[in-house]
Amino acid sequence: MVLLGPPGAGKGTQAKLLEQEFGAVQISTGDILRKAVADQSPLGKQAEDYIKRGALVPDDLITNLIAERLQQADCAQGFLLDGFPRTIPQAESLDALLMKLALSLNGVLSVQVPRAVIIERLAGRRTCKNCGALCHTVFDPPKQDGVCDRCGGELFQREDDKEETIANRLTVYDGQTAPLVDYYRRQGILREIDGVGSIEEIRSRIKKALGGIAT
């Protein structure tokens, strides 16, 4: 499955819940790239500047990364693509790759959230340095300021969740990623989800939408 939606739509949060429920593995290209940057691997060095600016990393880097990742053993149970594809050429490469692997998408969930809500969510989003758990300073605050409820790790604000970069990421989304909604609608596999509400409300809408998809 593909989870589609602007930054801050809740894709990562919902992907983690779906992962627990269905055993399909979450593949977040953003998480993979951030780890590569932290490790200063060759991929990380190439991607770092794009991520800092809120721009997209070149398609060929990402499609190679996905081609390798989808062939790893843990994907045999199914996978949830979170943050990929993000451009029409990436979606076309994914179609070609899936065909080669004799796989197909069960569905594409498009999570829709108004701009004002996105900005509120991104500005308060915090990530655990240790386990990657997400929380929010207002909507899902940790018990202790700056400390992850799940593992006690340190919470931090992503560099690209700061105000100037958020604006750039949203412009990039409108120009390059939003056209994917129509791309998948034409394929007949798009499910539109209202992404406003509590984590639990959105989770239950997704479950309802998945009722119409073979999981």
Catalytic, out of 11, 34, 191, 205:
11
Which residues of the chain form contacts with ligand AMP (CB under 6 A)?
7, 29-30, 33, 50-51, 54-57, 62, 83-84, 86, 90, 160, 169
User: To the nearest whole angstrom, how small is the minimum distance from the Cβ of residue 194 to ligand AMP?
Assistant: 21
| Residue number with CB closer to ligand AMP (24 or 118) | 118
Catalytic, out of 35, 53, 69, 158:
158
| 169 given a catalytic annotation | yes
User: To the nearest whole angstrom, how small is the minimum distance from the Cβ of residue 143 to ligand AMP?
Assistant: 25
| Residue number with CB closer to ligand AMP (55 or 119) | 55
User: To the nearest whole angstrom, how small is the minimum distance from the Cβ of residue 212 to ligand AMP?
Assistant: 26
Secondary structure, 3-state, the chain: CEEECCCCCCHHHHHHHHHHHHCCEEEEHHHHHHHHHHHCCHHHHHHHHHHHHCCCCCHHHHHHHHHHHCCCHHHHHCEEEECCCCCHHHHHHHHHHHHHCCCCCCCEEEEECCHHHHHHHHHHEEEECCCCCEEECCCECCCCCCECCCCCCEEECCHHHCHHHHHHHHHHHHHHHCHHHHHHHHCCCEEEEECCCCHHHHHHHHHHHHCCCCC
Catalytic, out of 121, 126, 169, 205:
169
Q: Could you tell me which residues are beta bridge partners of residue 2? A: 81, 108
| 191 given a catalytic annotation | no
| Residue number with CB closer to ligand AMP (21 or 60) | 60
User: To the nearest whole angstrom, how small is the minimum distance from the Cβ of residue 68 to ligand AMP?
Assistant: 14
| 150 given a catalytic annotation | no
| Residue number with CB closer to ligand AMP (19 or 143) | 19
Catalytic, out of 125, 126, 191, 205:
125
Whether the CB-CB separation of 69 and 15 falls below 8 Å is answered with: no
| Residue number with CB closer to ligand AMP (96 or 215) | 96
Which positions are catalytic? Answer: 11, 86, 125, 158, 169
